[in-house]
């Protein structure tokens, strides 16, 4: 929906500019030439609209769920975008605990590498081992390294399968999208959530700020610049970034070692993708707990899924009416974004095309 709206807006504005320029040029032409020019312009615009409608019906680029524009065919990987549907599948369960379907993730939708695959090959967060030790968690020998963490640790989303101090939060999440996790994994997740929620400052009128903008627009840098230039409230906020959470999972470094950037093997699951759904799940638990504690926070994201966020913001208004809600939308020139994503491609293997 976002992709179509933005495309139509671009076409509309472009068409207006085209008509305006054409009209100005015709004023200085002889009468006969102007009529011929007008007819030619109408013919050209008619063909253009036909091509635009065909492009909208089957665009060469698609938006991922977090707002990144990705090529449908990913030639930089040396392939035609042919990826196994098994890369992102995760088991879904009925209330009786029966496995009934598999859920495909944006890995298939985008036809290639998207921001779910973000990771820095040279970075390891030592706190991941600390969390695992506290929870007495060990990666099982049966772990399938060709599958995601949410696939490996999935459990039926039933009342008796919610455990730990955050089970009341787990019980209200959307399990048509998320999966529930086995008890051992929940203990590890609780350590991560506790770490995040121990920080922050309580307030009678707290802020929850959502970031919005395309990949490479400079969202993180903008927040840092605002802090540096005296926006003191931002310094008090817990910045909930799912990409940071990924490195706090013990599997992350192993996924990276199996398929490091910047030239990953398309047949091996990428580290960022393999941990993304679980890190997004944890982000949601962390955000809910921080709001229960009435703390200032920033939710890192792109706000591309407008319908989902509209419902989510209404829930916040209803359940946490004392919260003030803000959005920081960061925009940037295409040329600058392109330079940044090229640098990121070299560093992390996260690549998109200019188109």
Task: State the angle between helix axes of 2-26 and 31-57 in degrees (0 to 180), rounded to the nearest 10.
Answer: 170
Q: Is the pLDDT of residue 199 over 90?
A: yes
* Rounded average pLDDT over 322-350: 81
Which residues, other chains included, contact 135 with Cβ-Cβ below 8 Å and sequence gap of 6+?
184, 187, 188, 190, 191
For residues 257 and 108, what is the distance between their CA atoms, to the nearest angstrom?
23
Quick one: 80 and 26 in the same domain?
no
Closest CA to 156 of 175, 137, 184: 175
pLDDT tens string 206-253 = 999 999 987 778 888 888 888 888 777 788 899 999 989 999 999 999
Domain carrying residue 35: 2-59
Residue 349 pLDDT: 55
Quick one: 218 and 290 in the same domain?
yes
Question: Is residue 341 assigned to a domain?
Answer: yes
Q: Could you tell me if 323 and 288 are in contact, meaning their C-beta atoms sit under 8 angstroms apart?
A: no
Quick one: 7 and 94 in the same domain?
no
For residues 194 and 94, what is the distance between their CA atoms, to the nearest angstrom?
30
**How many angstroms separate the Cα of 296 from the Cα of each of 102, 188, 208, 280, 312?**
37, 25, 6, 19, 17
Question: Is residue 281 assigned to a domain?
Answer: yes
Cα distance between the two ends of the chain: 19
Query: What φ, ψ does residue 63 adopt, rounded to 5°?
Result: -90, 135
Q: Is the pLDDT of residue 159 over 60?
A: yes
Share of the chain above pLDDT 90, in %: 41
Quick one: 235 and 194 in the same domain?
yes
Task: State the angle between helix axes of 271-292 and 183-197 in degrees (0 to 180), rounded to the nearest 10.
Answer: 60
Quick one: 126 and 86 in the same domain?
yes
Q: What average pLDDT does the structure give for the chain? A: 74
b/e code 113-128 from CB counts within 10 Å (16+ = b): bbbbbbbbbeeebeeb
- Give the other-Cβ count within 10 Å of 256's Cβ: 24
For residues 317 and 323, what is the distance between their CA atoms, to the nearest angstrom?
7
* Rounded average pLDDT over 149-162: 97
Q: Could you tell me if 72 and 81 are in contact, meaning their C-beta atoms sit under 8 angstroms apart?
A: yes
Question: Is residue 247 assigned to a domain?
Answer: yes
Instruction: Write the DSSP assignment of 234-289 as a string of letters.
Output: HHTSEEE-HHHHHTTSTTHHHHHHHS-SSS--TTS--HHHHHHHHHHHHHHHHHHH
Q: Lowest-confidence range among 120-129, 132-141, 149-158?
A: 120-129
pLDDT tens string 64-110 = 333 333 334 433 333 333 333 333 334 444 444 444 333 333 333 33
Quick one: 103 and 30 in the same domain?
no
**How many angstroms separate the Cα of 106 from the Cα of each of 65, 79, 245, 278?**
7, 18, 19, 14
Q: Which pLDDT band holds residue 278 (cuts at 50, 70, 90)?
A: very high
Quick one: 306 and 257 in the same domain?
yes
For residues 241 and 238, what is the distance between their CA atoms, to the nearest angstrom?
9
Question: Is residue 189 assigned to a domain?
Answer: yes
Instruction: Quote the number of domains for the chain.
Output: 2
For the entire predicted model, the pTM comes to: 0.66
Quick one: 16 and 98 in the same domain?
no
Question: Is residue 285 assigned to a domain?
Answer: yes
Residue 118 pLDDT: 52
């Amino acid at each position: 929906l976002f992709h179509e709206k933005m495309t139509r807006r671009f076409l509309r504005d472009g068409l207006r500019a085209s008509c305006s320029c054409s009209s100005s040029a015709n004023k200085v032409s002889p009468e006969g030439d102007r009529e011929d020019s007008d007819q030619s312009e109408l013919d050209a615009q008619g063909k253009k609209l036909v091509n635009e409608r065909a492009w909208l019906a089957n665009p060469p680029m698609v938006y991922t769920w977090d707002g990144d524009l990705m090529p449908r065919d990913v030639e930089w990987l040396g392939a035609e975008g042919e990826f196994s549907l098994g890369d992102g599948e995760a088991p879904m369960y009925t209330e009786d605990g029966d496995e009934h379907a598999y859920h495909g993730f944006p890995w298939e939708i985008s036809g290639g590498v998207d921001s779910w695959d973000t990771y820095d090959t040279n970075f390891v967060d030592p706190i991941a081992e600390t969390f695992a030790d506290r929870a007495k968690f060990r990666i099982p020998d049966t772990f399938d390294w060709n599958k995601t963490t949410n696939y490996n640790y999935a459990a039926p989303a039933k009342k008796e399968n919610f455990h730990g101090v955050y089970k009341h939060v787990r019980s209200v999440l959307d399990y048509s999208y998320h999966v529930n996790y086995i008890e051992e994994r929940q203990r590890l997740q609780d350590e991560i959530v506790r770490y995040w929620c121990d920080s922050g400052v309580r307030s009678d009128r707290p802020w929850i700020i959502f970031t919005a903008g395309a990949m490479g627009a400079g969202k993180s840098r903008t927040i840092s610049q605002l802090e540096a230039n005296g926006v003191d409230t931002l310094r008090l906020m817990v910045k909930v970034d799912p990409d940071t959470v990924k490195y706090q999972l013990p599997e992350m470094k192993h996924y990276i070692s199996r398929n490091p950037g910047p030239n990953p093997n398309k047949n091996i699951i990428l580290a960022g993708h393999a941990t993304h759904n679980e890190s997004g799940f944890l982000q949601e638990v962390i955000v809910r707990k921080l709001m229960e504690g009435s703390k200032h926070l920033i939710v890192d994201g792109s706000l591309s899924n407008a319908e989902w966020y509209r419902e989510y913001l209404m829930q916040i208004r209803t359940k946490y009416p004392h919260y003030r809600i803000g959005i920081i939308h960061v925009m940037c020139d295409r040329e600058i974004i392109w330079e940044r994503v090229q640098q990121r491609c070299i560093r992390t293997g996260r690549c998109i095309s200019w188109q």
